[in-house]
């Protein structure tokens, strides 16, 4: 942790130098990376920072509230919330291609931030010149920013930025792996509930719905995902798992039987993985009792889902996310 104290002090100093008297906007997403990078910048420059939380409507159950309430209480950050759920749904309508989803979400994210920036600019004060990004070392490598890298997926927080970007980037986590980011977060006093949270992709549930995104499909996936998280936490398995994507095969149906009748519902795929840094991963050997409880609850409580499956593919060859 001595190293992490050094990293905090070094970054705080660096951010102060880079920013000067300018104001800064932060891309707060609800995940650990943006929470820690934002808190680091908050520590460095305080009220010169405005954190913008774009609620794109693609988060999991309860996550928006966690940002708006718990994170603000812990950091004292000046938070501006933008409810953009309808806007994102509109742009994603009928879109099924994974990279197209990412590009649209990345583009709309930046547009929404630019709108928020204009509102912040309209208030008296120094010019807004910087945007905080929670980019980690593995993101840099996978997006082609590192030596010998290949462009596997255009992670929207690195590769998908539009060319008319008005901000200079502050990326204080760019050299760090996830476990180091969590340590930095602890040093900054962010509550364990946020720091210990599993990573979650910027494009959110949009890339966990295989098929087009709709409000109805998001609600189905949210209900299933909430059950998975509740049962995994209750079983004490959170720390054993790197990440636990729950995927809705929205264009697939299978026949089932429940009560008196035949059902024709959608499958849910459980994708629990263990990993050190997300660059490679293995499927998590979860206790059968936990899997059974998850399966029973999802098929009982989510009427549109009649089958629960487990993905037992390592990375490589499978990626962690299905899209």
271 binds ligand XMP (CB under 6 A): no
Do 192 and 291 meet the contact criterion of CB atoms below 8 Å apart? Answer: no
309 binds ligand XMP (CB under 6 A): no
Binds ligand XMP by CB under 6 A, chosen from 37, 243, 295, 299: 243
315 binds ligand XMP (CB under 6 A): yes
30 binds ligand XMP (CB under 6 A): no
Backbone angles phi, psi at 70, to 5 degrees: -70, -45
Tokens of 221: 């996936």
> Any idea which residue has 């990440």 for tokens?
243
How far apart are CB 159 and ligand XMP at their closest, in Å? 9
**Distance between CA 268 and CA 265 in Å, rounded?**
10
208 binds ligand XMP (CB under 6 A): no
How far apart are CB 78 and ligand XMP at their closest, in Å? 24
**Distance between CA 41 and CA 13 in Å, rounded?**
10
Concatenating the DSSP letter of every residue in 139-157 gives HHHHTT-STT----S--TT
Residue 175 CA from chain centroid, whole number: 19
Q: Does the annotation list 26 as a binding residue? A: no
Q: Which stretch binds ligand XMP (CB under 6 A): 4-12, 59-67, 189-197, 199-207?
A: 199-207
Binds ligand XMP by CB under 6 A, chosen from 56, 129, 153, 229: 153
Select 197 or 293, whichever has its Cβ closest to ligand XMP. Answer: 197
102 binds ligand XMP (CB under 6 A): yes
229 binds ligand XMP (CB under 6 A): no
How far apart are CB 49 and ligand XMP at their closest, in Å? 21
**# of chain residues touching ligand XMP (CB under 6 A):** 15
Select 112 or 243, whichever has its Cβ closest to ligand XMP. Answer: 243
Tokens of 123: 């208030």
Sort residue 138 into left (φ over 0), alpha (ψ -120 to 50) or beta.
alpha
Helix runs in the chain, H state only: 2-19, 32-45, 63-65, 72-75, 85-92, 98-121, 137-142, 178-187, 192-195, 215-234, 288-301
How far apart are CB 113 and ligand XMP at their closest, in Å? 15
Binds ligand XMP by CB under 6 A, chosen from 104, 188, 247, 320: 320
Q: Does the annotation list 150 as a binding residue? A: no
Do 226 and 256 meet the contact criterion of CB atoms below 8 Å apart? Answer: no
Q: Does the annotation list 159 as a binding residue? A: no
Sort residue 144 into left (φ over 0), alpha (ψ -120 to 50) or beta.
left
Q: Does the annotation list 116 as a binding residue? A: no
Annotated binding site for ATP: 29-35
Binding site for ligand XMP (CB under 6 A): 102, 153, 155-157, 199, 201-203, 243, 278, 315, 319-321
Annotated binding site: 29-35
């Amino acid at each position: 942790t001595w190293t992490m104290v050094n990293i905090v002090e070094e970054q705080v100093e660096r951010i102060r130098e880079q920013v000067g008297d300018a104001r800064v906007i932060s891309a707060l997403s609800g995940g650990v990376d943006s929470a820690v990078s934002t808190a680091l910048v908050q520590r460095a420059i305080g009220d010169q920072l405005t954190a913008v939380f774009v609620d794109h409507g693609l988060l999991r159950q309860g996550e928006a509230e966690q940002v708006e309430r718990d994170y603000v209480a812990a950091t004292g950050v000046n938070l501006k919330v933008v409810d953009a759920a309808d806007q994102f749904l509109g742009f994603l309508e009928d879109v099924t291609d994974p990279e197209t989803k990412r590009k649209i979400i990345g583009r709309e994210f930046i547009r929404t931030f630019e709108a928020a920036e204009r509102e912040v600019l309209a208030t008296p004060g120094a010019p807004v010149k910087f945007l905080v990004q929670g980019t980690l070392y593995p993101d840099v490598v996978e997006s082609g920013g590192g030596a010998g890298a290949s462009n596997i997926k255009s992670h929207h927080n690195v590769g998908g930025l539009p060319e008319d970007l008005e901000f200079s980037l502050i990326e204080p986590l760019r050299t760090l792996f996830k476990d180091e980011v969590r340590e930095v977060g602890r040093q900054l006093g962010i509550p364990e509930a946020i720091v210990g949270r599993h990573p979650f992709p910027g494009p959110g549930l949009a890339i966990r719905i295989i098929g087009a995104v709709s409000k109805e499909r998001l609600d189905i996936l949210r209900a299933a995902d909430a059950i998975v998280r509740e049962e995994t936490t209750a079983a004490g398995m959170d720390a054993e798992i790197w990440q636990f994507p729950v995927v809705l095969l929205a264009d697939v149906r299978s026949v089932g039987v429940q009560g008196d009748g035949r059902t024709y519902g959608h499958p849910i795929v459980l994708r629990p993985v263990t990993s050190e840094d997300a660059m490679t991963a293995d499927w998590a050997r979860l206790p059968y009792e936990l899997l059974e409880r998850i399966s029973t609850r999802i098929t009982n409580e989510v009427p549109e889902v009649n089958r629960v499956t487990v993905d037992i593919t390592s990375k490589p060859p499978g990626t962690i996310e299905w899209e």
